[in-house]
């Protein structure tokens, strides 16, 4: 969008380089080199090396949790959690999440039972749980979304009253605080992602947190014999180890977390300020936390008021090199793996279906600054003002 011409209709893209949606933390080359030199000097790449051990200690201190067990990514962490918790039959999980949440259950031979989410917070709808419970349900997986949290305390009480196991996919929630307690300390287990797009990055990676010694021993033995600590019998083992190179990046990312969090918060507030006057776009604020990592910017597009659908706005922004995307899309219950049970959920997850059609994720993190955010908001405002023109352009050109 240069000289008032949208890139979609032949103008030049506003941004010369693509602005991605994730955190994408890169330490300085000198720091990276020094960390890698240490690994070369020690001649030790992986298998619970000194950097992984250091990272586990620092995470435990930072999160105030008894056990932080580093892993190669959160997907395998969720699979390990299902095994360690000895879940069986069915587990309730929101459908409005990344596909790894329910897929980790499928890998463990457990049927996911999809729950709807709360329309204002996007977190699991606790008032819908009763209708999903049957004698085969053995647990609940809460998903802490968007740098916010489910109502974790209410979920703990609920799970206790129904004698169900409770654990959390906290891939989005590193550093977030509920009632002066860091996320990591709720339910039996919490799993974080340290993927490159997350606020704490190991490039790929994650950690599993628990305050339960027995579960921690089981998890360490499931992860691998390296770092297993006390040997306890487990039926399934895996390779969920984190490498030294992953841990080296994560340690630098942890050092820089306060700065990155502040930067994200500042960018988020800029979005809030600049988007609040534009009709039909609602920025979702992190729910249920007193401190957020602000690692995601997610907005609902109300098509009739904004003038364009979410999908059309994604096309307009992508042409300007703003790599906004649909998030999450489709709902997990509409993905190939769960086709067989779609009839159960076709009409029972109205909020999830609405959000999958309405939500857009916008860039935040290390690759954007406040000027870029202000320009993205300007493009969105211009898209609203020129919605009729853009819509007919998209139709005529079958885009």
Nearest distance in Å: CB 209, ligand T4K: 14
In the complex with ligand T4K, which residue's Cβ is closer, 39 or 250? 250
Cβ count near 283 (within 10 Å)? 16
CB of 366 to ligand T4K, least distance (A): 10
| Cα(359)–Cα(370) distance, integer angstroms | 22
Toward ligand T4K, which CB reaches closer, 74 or 387?
74
Other C-beta atoms lying within 10 Å of the C-beta of residue 49: 22
Nearer to ligand T4K by Cβ, of 17 and 304: the residue is 17
| Assigned token pair, 391 | 């819509």
| Minimum distance, C-beta of residue 386 to ligand T4K, in the bound complex (Å) | 25
Helix (H, G, I), strand (E, B) or coil at 300: strand
Q: Which of 46, 75, 56, 54 is nearest to 224 (CA)?
A: 46
Residues 238, 220 contacting (CB under 8 angstroms): no
Residues 6 or more apart in contact with residue 118 via CB below 8 angstroms = 124, 125, 126, 351
Please report, as ranges, the residues that interact with ligand T4K according to CB under 6 A.
Answer: 20-22, 24, 73-75, 97-98, 100-101, 143, 169, 171-172, 193, 195-197, 206, 323
Smallest distance, Å, CB 289 to ligand T4K? 16
Q: How far is the CB of 264 from ligand T4K (least distance, A)?
A: 15
Q: How many Å apart are CA 167 and CA 91, to the nearest integer?
A: 10
- Cβ proximity to ligand T4K: between 159 and 323 the closer is 323
Pick 13 or 133: Cβ nearer ligand T4K:
13
Query: Which C-beta is closer to ligand T4K: that of 25 or that of 393?
Result: 25
Report the nearest approach of ligand T4K to the CB of residue 322 (Å): 10
β partners of residue 361:
298, 325
Smallest separation, CB 169 to ligand T4K (Å): 5
CB of 195 to ligand T4K, least distance (A): 3
Q: Which is nearer to ligand T4K, 195 or 223 (CB)?
A: 195
Could you tell me if 76 and 238 are in contact, meaning their C-beta atoms sit under 8 angstroms apart? yes
Pairing of strands 90-94, 137-143: parallel
Instruction: Cite the DSSP H helix spans in 119-202.
Output: 152-161
What are the residues whose beta carbons fall under 8 Å from the beta carbon of 259, sequence distance 6 or more? none
What's the CA gap between 305 and 97, in Å, rounded? Answer: 26
Side-chain-side CA neighbours of residue 272 (13 Å) = 11
For residues 324 and 387, which CB has a smaller minimum distance to ligand T4K in the complex?
324
- Residue 205: CB minimum distance to ligand T4K, A: 7
CB of 27 to ligand T4K, least distance (A): 14
User: CA 169, 175, 176 angle in degrees (round to 5)?
Assistant: 70
User: With respect to ligand T4K, which residue has the nearer C-beta, 137 or 141?
Assistant: 141
With vertex at residue 340, the alpha carbon angle to CA 334 and CA 342, rounded to the nearest 5 degrees, is 40
Q: Which is nearer to ligand T4K, 29 or 347 (CB)?
A: 29
Taking the CA of residue 299 as centre, how many other CA atoms within 13 Å lie in the half-sphere pointing to its CB? 29
CB-based contacts of 329, cutoff 8 Å, min separation 6:
356, 357, 359
CA distance 399 to 397: 5
């Amino acid at each position: 969008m240069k000289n008032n011409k949208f890139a979609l209709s032949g103008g030049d893209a506003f941004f010369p380089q693509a602005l991605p949606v994730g955190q994408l933390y890169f330490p300085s080359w000198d720091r990276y080199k020094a960390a890698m030199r240490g690994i070369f000097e020690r001649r030790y790449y992986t298998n619970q090396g000194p950097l992984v051990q250091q990272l586990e200690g620092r995470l435990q201190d930072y999160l105030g949790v008894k056990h932080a067990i580093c892993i190669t990514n959160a997907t395998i962490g969720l699979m390990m959690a299902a095994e360690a918790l000895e879940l069986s039959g069915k587990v309730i999980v929101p459908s409005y999440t990344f596909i790894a949440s329910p897929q980790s259950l499928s890998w463990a031979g457990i049927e996911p039972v999809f729950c709807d989410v709360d329309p204002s917070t996007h977190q699991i709808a606790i008032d819908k749980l009763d209708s999903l419970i049957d004698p085969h349900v053995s647990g609940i997986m809460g998903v802490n979304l968007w740098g916010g949290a489910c109502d974790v305390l209410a979920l703990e009480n609920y799970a206790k009253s129904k004698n169900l196991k409770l654990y959390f996919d906290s891939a989005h929630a590193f550093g977030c605080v509920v009632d002066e307690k860091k996320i990591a300390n709720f339910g039996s287990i919490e799993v974080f992602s340290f993927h490159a797009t997350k606020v704490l990055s190991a490039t790929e990676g994650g950690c599993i947190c628990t305050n339960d010694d027995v579960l921690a021993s089981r998890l360490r033995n499931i992860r691998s014999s390296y770092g297993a600590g006390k040997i306890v019998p487990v039926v399934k083992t895996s390779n969920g180890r984190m490498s030294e190179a992953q841990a080296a990046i994560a340690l630098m990312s942890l050092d820089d977390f306060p700065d990155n969090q502040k930067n994200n918060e500042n960018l988020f507030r800029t979005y809030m300020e600049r988007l609040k006057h534009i009709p039909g776009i609602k920025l979702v604020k992190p729910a249920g936390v007193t401190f957020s990592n602000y690692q995601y910017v997610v907005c609902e597009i109300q098509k009739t008021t904004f003038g364009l659908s979410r999908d059309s706005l994604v096309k307009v922004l992508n042409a300007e090199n703003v790599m906004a995307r649909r998030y999450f899309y489709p709902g997990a219950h509409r993905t190939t793996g769960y086709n067989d049970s779609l009839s159960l959920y076709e009409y029972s997850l109205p909020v999830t279906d609405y959000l999958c059609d309405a939500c857009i994720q916008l860039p935040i993190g290390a690759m954007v600054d406040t000027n870029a955010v202000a320009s993205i908001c300007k493009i969105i405002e211009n898209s609203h003002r020129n919605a009729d023109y853009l819509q007919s352009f998209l139709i005529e050109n079958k885009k």
